[in-house]
Amino acid sequence: MTAVPAPLNSGEPAGFGGAGSVTLVEGATFCLSNRLGDVEQGRPHGLFFRDARVLSRWELMVDGKPAESLSVLTPEAFIARFVLRRPPQEGLADSTLLVVRERIIADGMHEVLSLENMGREPTAVTLELHVDADFVDLFAVKEGRAGHVRAEISVADGELLLHDRTDRMRGITITSTVEPAVLPGTLVWRVVVPVGGMWKTEIIAQPTLGNQQVPAPLTPGEHVGVSAPCRKIEAWRDTATDIVSADAVLTQVLRRTESDLGALRIHDDTAEGRPFVAAGAPWFMTLFGRDSLLTAWMALPLSVDLALGTLQQLAELQGREVNPITEEQPGRIMHEMRRGPSGGQVLGGTIYYGTADATPLFVMLLAECHRWGADPAAIEDLLPAADAALDWIMRYGDRDGDGFVEYRRATDRGLVNQGWKDSFDGINDAGGHLAQAPIALCEVQGYVHAALLARAELADVFGQPRRAARLRDRADELRGKFAEQFWMPDRGWYAVALDATKRHVDALTSNSAHCLWAGIASDEHAAELVRQLAKEEMDTGFGLRTLASNMGAYNPMSYHCGSVWPHDTAIAVAGLLRYGHVPGAVELATRLAGGLLDAAAAFDGRLPELFCGFPRARFAVPVPYPTSCSPQAWASAAPLLLVRSFLGLNPDVPNRTLRVRPRLPESWGRVTLTALRLGDLSVDVEAEGSTVHSVRLPDDWQLITE
């Protein structure tokens, strides 16, 4: 019986690699292993290339046993050094043989395996590397549907060749610089390491696609620093803004942010090689509408090109026709793209469009890119896509003509919830009851309001004053309707949604804070909302809960019903600072940001996709969510949004204006941005507290600090 394909993104947490898993990522390739560096069979481990698992087993045995882990070092998101030792002989506590696996991934994997004898006599060692592949789709692995498929394995000229049994166009070749004894599925080396001596070999795993072997990350003998991934990350660092703070933790987090976003970048397959950002490792190493757009927005202080490339890529994939299977509709921005073996079988296509928020976010980011100095010609080229997006909002997004964008999946194969909380139980009321579709989310209305104003701004720029006025009128009308129908005066917050009967879905959630970020909230409502968000039911001490702890569906260990998502807290902070004139807003923003950075320090400088929403008073360190993705794009980018928001950094390159209005936390000390690129201009900014120390601008630019 053939298994029914699952949706592209089930909106649910997935099985991960287990405790202590190590994830390496570079572009669309990632490797998931244990702390020994082993890819274990029967677990969601593997080397994944173009959404297919090309290695399902990669296990090293030292004298017939797994090595023992001493340490794992990951200097870059795509490099790991597994420091191991041979298991001690029976009755002994110590081992005299150091085993090191130095791994780098790109479109394949390169591993240097070395042995060092610390003993007083030569030592004989037998090494076995067991290899297999199943070439199954990424989502079959994620959802535990991979089964026990094995590759077709052959040996030729000292190489191990593995091919997909159902599609011989996919395969992988394993070679070694020190020739092993090659058996089907196993490489064997029998060596003697002299006293104080070292032995090593370089093992290369090169995927084949369409019977063509992809380039290896390194050629034998090359230093890792000259590899394509290292050259790529150095080029990224050379062009990205350098941001440092007197706060060592913040600086460490920003360094990790820069590295992870660089590794998560993907370039399209065209000659232009446009950059865009993947959503995150291990399961979302592909273009996502919402995730990629929000990440690109947050990362604008590092790179405008990343945002522009994301917009261009999404515009090319924008909906053209009505297809209920994939939920494509004219003008709609896609949710997710997949290129794996099952991609064309999942929901009838490789692209799924079931999202309510990506389409207005597209228009918002387009105007923001223009402000940040993107090529005006490129912006103008994307205006038809923005207009098509607004047409989708009116024609398809607003299903019943009430002025609000709602969602309801077209078939039983699509996502039940199509906002950022897309798990099946992500939208519920104060009593814990699930909302019934069609559902109009509060934050989506905020995004639509911001999108209308964004397109109006672009209409002014490109000589369409009448259109600009009409768009602003529509935005004002929406803002009024939103205040009337979403605000709950007896509660003091916005309903998270209106359900099928236009009833308030009345839970207190972090979604309301997105309404601050988008600017749809009135000052009166914002003042009350700040008071509600500041309560211990929402503020964990490490960030903002997705759902208040006194709500019926609250579970601090859930995916969307009480956990903390760093990107969500960062958006809340940006919203609070947008309404910084409201009493308590800046104080709450400062507290939330401090808690989030404390959480980052506990996670060794890398914020995960989410973590559990237990109060800090109960657990002194944040409790990890067991299947959280890391690195994950919008979590990695969240610290950039914090810095930008507290700096009050808002450029307007077309009008040669830079606004800097800092309200920096005292603990951050002096914050310095070096080589901030605004169009053709490179700017340095230094600020501390509420003081701008220096901004170097040409004479024809205006600096606004109030």
Tell me which of 554 and 168 has the higher pLDDT.
554
> Can you give the pLDDT at residue 223?
72
Let me know: does 144 contact 15? Beta carbons within 8 Å: yes
Calculate mean pLDDT across residues 117-123: 94
What is the token pair recorded at 546? 């997705």
CA distance 261 to 300: 12
Per the CB < 8 A criterion, the answer to whether 67 and 83 are in contact is no
Residue 271 has pLDDT above 60, yes or no: no
The residue-averaged pLDDT of 291-318 equals 95
Least confident of 157-161, 293-297, 413-417, 656-660: 157-161
Q: What is the helix (H) or strand (E) element at residue 24, kind and residue range?
A: strand 22-26
- 51-70 confidence digits (pLDDT tens): 889 999 999 999 999 999 99
- pLDDT tens digits for range 378-429: 999 999 999 999 999 999 999 999 999 999 999 998 999 999 999 999 999 9
Residue 523 or residue 277, greater confidence:
523
pLDDT band at 5 (very low <50, low <70, confident <90, very high): very low
Query: Is residue 463 scored above 60 in pLDDT?
Result: yes
The pLDDT confidence band at residue 26, using thresholds 50, 70 and 90, is confident
Among 222-231, 357-366, 692-701, name the most confident range.
357-366
pLDDT category, 685, cuts 50, 70, 90? Answer: very high
pLDDT band per the 50, 70, 90 thresholds, residue 3: very low
Please give the span between the terminal C-alpha atoms of the chain, in angstroms, as a whole number. 67
Q: Is the pLDDT of residue 162 over 90?
A: no
Q: pLDDT at residue 89 above 90?
A: no
Q: Taking residues 78-96, report their average pLDDT.
A: 87
From start to end of 177-220, where are the E strands? 181-183, 186-193, 198-209, 212-213
Where does residue 383 rank: exposed (0-12), middle (13-18), buried (19+ CB within 10 A)?
A: middle
**Percent of the chain predicted with pLDDT > 90:** 74
Q: Kindly tell me if the per-residue pLDDT of 229 is higher than 90.
A: no
Q: Quick check: 270 pLDDT over 70? A: no
| DSSP E strands, 487-597 | 487-488, 493-494, 497-498, 504-505
Q: In which element (H, E) is residue 251 found?
A: helix 248-264
pLDDT for position 268 = 67
Q: Say what the pLDDT of residue 347 is.
A: 46
The answer to whether residue 157 scores a pLDDT higher than 90 is no
Give the number of other Cβ atoms within 10 Å of residue 524's Cβ: 12
- Output the pLDDT for position 178: 95
Give the integer Cα–Cα distance in Å for 357 and 671: 33
Strands 493-494 and 351-352, how do they pair? unpaired
Using DSSP, how many helices (H) and how many strands (E) does the chain show? 15, 33
pLDDT of residue 339: 63
Using the predicted structure, report yes or no on whether residue 670 has a pLDDT greater than 80: yes
Q: How many CB atoms lie within 10 A of CB 317?
A: 17
Of residues 287 and 326, more confidence is placed in 326
DSSP string covering 117-147, please? Answer: E-SSS-EEEEEEEEEE----BHHHHHTT--T
Question: Residue 449 in contact with residue 520, Cβ under 8 Å?
Answer: yes
Report the distance separating Cα 116 and Cα 440, nearest Å. Answer: 62
CA-CA-CA-CA dihedral for 161, 166, 167, 170, to nearest 10: -40
259-262 contacts at long range (C-beta below 8 A, 24 or more positions apart):
259/76, 259/77, 259/233, 260/77, 260/606, 260/631, 260/633, 260/636, 261/236, 261/295, 261/299, 261/302, 261/306, 261/633, 261/636, 261/637, 262/77, 262/232, 262/233, 262/236, 262/237
Question: 374 pLDDT band (50/70/90 cuts)?
Answer: very high
Bond preceding residue 282 cis, omega within 30 of 0: yes
Nearest partner of 520 among 491, 460, 477, 468, judged by Cα: 477
The residue-averaged pLDDT of 201-228 equals 78
Percent of the chain at pLDDT above 70?
92
**Does the predicted TM-score (pTM) go above 0.75?**
yes
The encoded tokens of residue 606 equal 């890398």
Long-range CB pairs of 31-35 (<8 Å, 24+ gap) are: 31/55, 31/103, 31/105, 31/109, 32/281, 32/282, 33/58, 35/69, 35/72, 35/82
Task: Specify whether the CB–CB gap between 687 and 693 falls below 8 A.
Answer: yes
| Lowest mean pLDDT across 235-244, 517-526, 532-541 | 235-244
Burial track 636-657 (b if 16+ CB lie within 10 A, e otherwise): bbbbbbbbbbbbbbbbbbeeee
Distance CA 551, CA 92 (A): 56
- In this prediction, residue 7 carries a pLDDT of 43
Among 608, 662, 667, which residue's Cα sits nearest to residue 633?
608
CA distances from 559 to 426, 568, 571 (A): 8, 13, 18
What pLDDT band is residue 239 in, cutting at 50, 70 and 90?
confident
C-alpha radius of gyration, the chain, whole number: 26
Q: Is the pLDDT of residue 694 over 70?
A: yes
Q: Helix or strand or coil: residue 618?
A: coil
Cα–Cα distance measured from residue 603 to residue 564, given in angstroms and rounded to the nearest whole number: 14
- Domains along the chain? 22-225 (2.70.98.40), 239-688 (1.50.10.10)
Please give the Cα distance from 17 to 34 (Å, whole number).
7
Residue 16 has pLDDT above 60, yes or no: no
Distance CA 46, CA 536 (A): 41
Q: Are 353 and 335 in contact (CB under 8 A)?
A: yes
In the predicted structure, residue 17 carries a pLDDT above the cut 60 = no
Average pLDDT, the chain: 90
- Indicate whether 577 pLDDT > 50: yes
Which pLDDT score is estimated for 294? 97
E strands, 292-338, in order: 336-337
Which own/partner pairs from 220-223 qualify as long-range (CB within 8 Å, at least 24 positions apart)?
A: 220/177, 221/177
Q: How many CB atoms lie within 10 A of CB 496?
A: 29
- The whole-number average pLDDT for the span 27-51 is 89
